[in-house]
Amino acid sequence: MKNRWVLFVPLAIMGLLFGAFIYRLVTPAETLIQSQWIDKPMPLFDLPPATAGVPGLKSSDLADGRPRLVNVFASWCIPCRAEAPQLEALKAAGVPIDGIAIRDRPEDVARFLSEYGNPFDRIGADMQSSVQIALGSSGVPETFLVDGKGIIREQIQGVILADQVPEIVAKIEAMK
Amino acid sequence: MIAELGLALLWIAASLACLSLVAGTLFLRGGPKDLAALVRPASVAQGVLTAAAFGLLIALFVRSDMSVDLVARNSNSLKPMIFKIAGTWGNHEGSMLLWLMILSLSGALIALFEKRLREDTLVATLTAQAALSLGFFAFLLFSSNPFKRLPVAPPDGQGLNPLLQDIGLAFHPPTLYVGYVGLSVAFSFAVGALITREIGPAFARAMRPWVLGSWIFLTLGITAGSYWAYYELGWGGWWFWDPVENVSLVPWLAGAALLHSVAVTATRNALRAWTVMLAVIGFSMSMVGTFIVRSGLLTSVHSFAVDPERGTFLLVLMAIYIGGALTLFALRAGAVAEGKKFALLSREGALVINNLLLTTILALVLLGTLYPIVAEAMGEKISVGPPYYNRVAGPLALILCLVMVAGPLLSWRKDDGKRLWSRLPASAFAGAAVLFALILFGGAVGILPLLGMTVAAVVAVASLAPLWGRTLRRVPLPTWGMVVAHFGVAVCLAGMGAESAFIKERLVAAAPGETIRIADFSVKFVGVKPVAGPNYTAIEGSLIATTASGGRFTMKPEARTFPGLMGTAPTETNEAALLTRPGGQLYAVLGQPVPGDDGRADRYQIRLWWKPLVWWIWLGGGLIALGATLSLLGRAQLPAMWRARRHRKTQERFAP
Amino acid sequence: MSLRLVLLCLLGALALPVAAQDRLPPAPYAYQQLNDPAKEARAKALMEELRCLVCQGQSIADSDAPLAGDMRHEVRSKIAAGESPDEIKAWLVARYGNWVTYDPPFDAATALLWLGPLLFLAIGGWLAFGRFRRGDGDAEDKA
């Protein structure tokens, strides 16, 4: 046999395979799909009010010079309930918050707001997730930091935790 | 007491594996022959004890002993008995015990029945098998103990996933497991033969029935799994190129390649090192697949945490076994002469190309499955799915089928093209006829289904060629096996091609009384009514399908809701209704109610598919398994033994 | 999904909870075909290669998840409005990255994925053809 090195090729391939396995065991997969629609303008939309008494939301509302949060939520989303106090805290710190309610009914949204508080200036009803898809969002809750020109600057996936609040306030301040 | 006894049996079986390993190793390093005599009985006892432990676990599930953690998490006293039993292997710990039982029983079977191998090679094989099982014993006993007791027994168990409460699925995993783990025998044979340097036709002939046997189970398991996914998931897909499907396909591909290369080694004493390599790859891929599934390595977004400790444990085990076998191969295979050479145009030549294509497909399936990890390491998140596999593996599979047309018609060592060509006109004609018919009457058919159906026709006719001009009664069983299996490939391919080319889909929100037209059927939606099963409630739709020729069939798809047990969330499943006709299947699913303008749910979503020839896919899978079984019956020593006995008896009778 | 789902179920890892879901009916085009068969065929082909973002490795064409239904609605609506499948795919990739498509593009990161099989075939072929005897196969050799 001339090419004895050939016999070690399977071992080398196994090494590569195991390298991939070890890499994955050491650095577990990122399970959230991040939006690629960052540093891009808000997609165009015009959503009707999600419930009586709170105005709807359209993209031109988001370019009024004031940086703000756009919170993607739903009344049927259980983690969203846990997020409510943090949104209240952000509101109290002077951060404007708009909401997009995903696949929700007006009476459910009203009940959610009465139970967990209403930090939202406006809430658009996204009945078919079309704005959510246009934002590159894949779950609830998600929060987008939007600057005064209506450009999306950052996406926060999942519940905003209490210790993230000051950081977010600072970021919004910096955008002013 | 049952749980404690089961655990004790496992420990004893593990120590027997340890005994085989030590005794076998000492013997192979020149120790006394008495040591070798220990290995056979120890292997048999290990198999019996592990099987007994598995039996005890089943008993715990049957008795719904909720003081055992595993039973409490995976069973419920209200569940039908058959699903209580199936619950034994419907979880991590139980299925690992099943894995181990098959591993140990395989060792016991080798010890009992294998008479063709040289004694030292047999001992080396059993030692390798004992080494394999010892690692999995450690895995089970130290990180996945199925017999663990709970400090306080809950009043009842958390049930089993309703998707698993299906008779087909209850027996699909064990079938697949027999196939996966059966390949361990080929692995141990290869390691044994490398240790004693006995690689030749005798070794190949001894290994062949074991490979055939496990491959039959792999084929059946994959076929059954595909059919399960088809009718249970409610969308009519039969293959998704999903990572978990892929890792079950990879050992099958390795087994298919091994079956063919072992034929070359057994008949012509060629491709020796390659056959050994494939035998190592086969079980390695079974382990890699199990690792990938168990460690949660490739579960995608929104997946659930799987214990990383178990993953690490399995990875270390695999590194020892696969790394050890491959190192042994690298060191020893150089001394293994490759055996006799042959011309490209010969039976061996066709089988080499078969192996090249099968291993390339194997490699690309593995590459596609693992590539998202590589891409993520490079900073990009990608998905690899059907478009990739169809585009890359599809053409290779079609070329493979064409090689399959020629292979059985070629003679060993050397053949000439003219002789081959003279045997092909009928199949070439069949292919041309199908191709023209499809182009003329088929409408817009995609290139892959078009070629698939054409190649299927060629293969179907050519696969029967080895029978032409022969007395069918005299054709040996292995040849029958090859013919049936190759014909099965053609049937399967035709089904796949026809289904993807001519599928019809109708998605309708229908009110009771409405009629939906699909293909040649008029399907009338009669209405819905609530029904109650043993542990679920359901809305049952009633559909009446009438054909143009006046046939009238009732279809009853169900939307089932399983209540959450012990605080778990309720679960919904779709039970599709299937109407099998000679030309294909009509597939009906009852979806959600659709509220009308007045808010009342008067209409229901109905999903209908007409799937031409779809059942040929599984018929083909069954034929492939049947062919392999015929081949196994022909190869095993049974007929020979039977003949020899009859011969002896005849002689005795006429003895003076 | 299929076998993966099966095996995940075997691990007891997966249940399909209906609790945390909305109660809205699905979007119109989630479960309804386009009237034009040619357009529907284009939409169907595209949906089969788009990944459901909240499922266990399913395409949006065969998932009952609400978001998958909404994505089907999005795709069918855009096709109905005259957009081409490639435009829609690009639109989605701009938002979700290449994760959303099961048909990875050929670029630096995926070169090995697409060329790997060819490379393997070439190396394997080179090794295998060394086995064949050139010319006649009559003389027995000593190997």
Q: Which of residues 553-582 of B touch C (CB under 8 A)?
A: 561, 564, 568-574
Q: Give pLDDT, residue B245.
A: 87
Q: Please name the chains neighbouring B, where neighbouring means 3+ C-beta pairs under 8 angstroms.
A: A, C
Chain A residue with CA closest to C70: the answer is A128
Interface of A with B in 138-157 (CB under 8 A): 138
Q: Does A31 contact B303 at a Cβ distance shorter than 8 Å?
A: yes
pLDDT of the residue at B164: 63
Q: How far away is chain C from the Cα of B8, in angstroms, using its nearest Cα? A: 25
**Predicted confidence (pLDDT) at residue C133 exceeds the cutoff of 60:** no
3-state secondary structure of B516: strand
Confidence of residue B537 (pLDDT cuts 50, 70, 90): confident
pLDDT digits (tens, 9 = 90+) for B453-493: 999 999 999 999 888 888 888 888 999 999 999 999 999 99
Residue B307 has a pLDDT of 67
Residue C6 to residue B386, Cβ atoms within 8 A: no
Mean pLDDT of chain A: 91
**Alpha helices (H) in B197-233, listed in sequence order:** 201-232
Cβ contact, residue pair C102, B381, below 8 Å: no
Residue B343 with chain C: CB contacts under 8 Å: 132-133, 136-137
Hey, is the C-beta of A108 within 8 angstroms of any chain C C-beta? yes
Q: Burial letters for C39-69: b for 16+ Cβ neighbours within 10 Å, e otherwise?
A: ebebbbebbbbbbbbbbbbbbbbbbbbbbbb
Please tell me the predicted confidence (pLDDT) of residue B336. 75
What global pTM score does this model have?
0.91
Q: Supply the pLDDT for residue B162.
A: 64
Chain A residues touching B334 at Cβ < 8 A: 1, 4, 7
* Greatest mean pLDDT range, B228-237, B340-349, B389-398, C31-40: B389-398
> What are the extents of the domains in chain B?
1-161, 166-411, 412-502+615-654, 504-612
Query: For C56, which of B300, B343, B508 is closest by C-beta distance?
Result: B300
- The CATH number of C24-105 is 1.10.8.640
Partner residue facing C53 (CB), from B301, B363, B605:
B301
Residues of chain B neighbouring C33 (CB-CB closer than 8 A): 505-507
List all chains that touch chain C, counting a touch as 3 or more CB pairs closer than 8 Å.
A, B
Residue bearing the bigger pLDDT, A112 or B166 = A112
C53 touches chain A (CB under 8 A): yes
> What is each CA distance from B650 to A138, B446, B637, B640, B646, in whole angstroms?
78, 62, 20, 15, 6
pLDDT band at B567 (very low <50, low <70, confident <90, very high): low
Chains that touch A (3 or more CB pairs under 8 A): B, C
Q: What percent of chain C has pLDDT over 70?
A: 75
Residue A18 has pLDDT above 70, yes or no: yes
Nearest to A7 among B291, B322, B330 (CB): B330
Residue B578's identity, in one-letter code, is L
Burial of B94 (0-12, 13-18, 19+ CB in 10 A): buried
Q: How far apart are CA B104 and CA C100, in angstroms?
A: 44
Q: Does A20 touch chain B (CB under 8 A)?
A: yes
> Could you tell me if C32 lies within 8 Å of chain A, comparing CB atoms?
no
Which of B112-126, B630-644, C125-139: highest mean pLDDT?
Answer: B112-126
CA count, 13 A, side-chain hemisphere, A34: 11
Among candidate residues A63, A60, A57, the one with its CA nearest the CA of residue A175: A63
pLDDT at B656 over 70: no
Q: What is the pLDDT of residues B89-138, one digit of tens each?
A: 888 889 899 999 999 999 999 999 887 788 889 999 999 999 999 999 99
- Mean pLDDT for chain B overall: 88
What is the rounded average pLDDT of the residues B23-40? Answer: 90
Is there a contact between C56 and B302 if contact means CB atoms under 8 Å apart? Answer: yes
Please indicate if any CB of chain B lies within 8 Å of the CB of C17. yes
Decide if A168 touches C, using CB distance below 8 A: no
Interchain contact A10–B (C-beta under 8 A):
yes
Q: Would an 8 Å CB–CB cutoff place C74 in contact with chain A?
A: yes
Q: Where are the domains of chain C?
A: 24-105, 106-137
Which residues of A fall within a CB distance of 8 Å from C60? none
CA distance B310 to B18: 22
Quote ipTM for the complex.
0.89
- Contact of C142 with chain A, judged by CB distance below 8 Å, is answered with no
Query: What percent of chain B has a predicted confidence (pLDDT) above 90?
Result: 56
Interface contact flag, B349 C4, Cβ < 8 Å: no
Looking at beta carbons, which residues of chain C come within 8 Å of B302?
A: 54-56
What letter does residue B196 receive in the DSSP assignment? H
Does the beta-carbon distance from C54 to A104 stay under 8 Å?
A: no
Helix (H, G, I), strand (E, B) or coil at B88: coil
pLDDT band at C13 (very low <50, low <70, confident <90, very high): very low
Among candidates A8, A25, A28 on the partner chain, residue whose Cβ is nearest the Cβ of B315: A25
Mean pLDDT, rounded, for B501-530: 92
Note the pLDDT of residue B376: 86
In chain C, what residues touch A130 (CB-CB under 8 Å)? 70, 73-74
pLDDT tens profile B301-332: 333 345 677 888 889 999 999 999 999 999 98
* Closest approach of B324 to chain C, Cα-based (Å): 23
Element (H, E) at A26: helix A9-26
Q: What DSSP string runs through chain C?
A: -THHHHHHHHTT----B-TTS--SPPPGGGS---SSHHHHHHHHHHHHTBBPTTSSS-BGGG---HHHHHHHHHHHHHHHTT--HHHHHHHHHHHHGGGGBSS---SGGGHHHHHHHHHHHHHHHHHHHTTBPSS---S----
Tell whether the model's pLDDT for residue C75 goes beyond 70: yes
- Name the H helices within A28-161: 78-92, 106-116, 130-134
Distance from CA of A12 to the nearest CA of B (A): 9
Given a cut of 80, whether residue A66 has pLDDT beyond it is yes
Give the position of tokens 């910096």: A174
Which chain C residues contact residue A34 at CB under 8 A? Answer: 97
The pLDDT, as a whole number, for residue A69 is 95
Is A35 an 8 Å CB contact of chain C? yes
How far, in Å, CA of B460 to CA of B479, rounded? 15
CB contact under 8 A, A78 and C20: yes
User: How does residue C129 score in pLDDT terms, banded at 50, 70 and 90?
Assistant: confident
* Phi then psi dihedrals of residue B190, to 5 deg: -60, -45
Q: Distance (Å) from the C-alpha of residue A93 to the closest C-alpha of chain C?
A: 31
CA–CA dist B501, B627 (Å, integer):
28
Q: Is C60's pLDDT higher than 80?
A: yes
Q: Is the pLDDT confidence value at A85 over 90? A: yes
**pLDDT at residue A26 in the model:** 82
Contact state of A20 with B303 under an 8 Å Cβ cutoff: no
Contacts of A28 in chain B (CB under 8 A): 308
Min CA distance, B578 vs chain C (Å)? 18
A138/C27 touch (CB, cutoff 8 Å), yes or no: no
pLDDT surpassing 50 at residue B247: yes
% pLDDT > 90, chain C = 50
Q: What is the pLDDT of residue C10?
A: 37
**C123 to chain A: closest CA residue:** A6
Smallest Cα distance from C24 to chain B, Å = 10
| pLDDT given for residue B228 in this prediction | 85
Eight-class DSSP state of A156: E
Q: Which one of C1, C2, C67, C121 makes the best mutation probe of the B interface by having the most chain B beta carbons within 10 Å?
A: C2
- Give the mutation candidate from A6, A7, A16, A103 for the C interface (greatest C CB count, under 10 A): A103
pLDDT at position B645 is 60
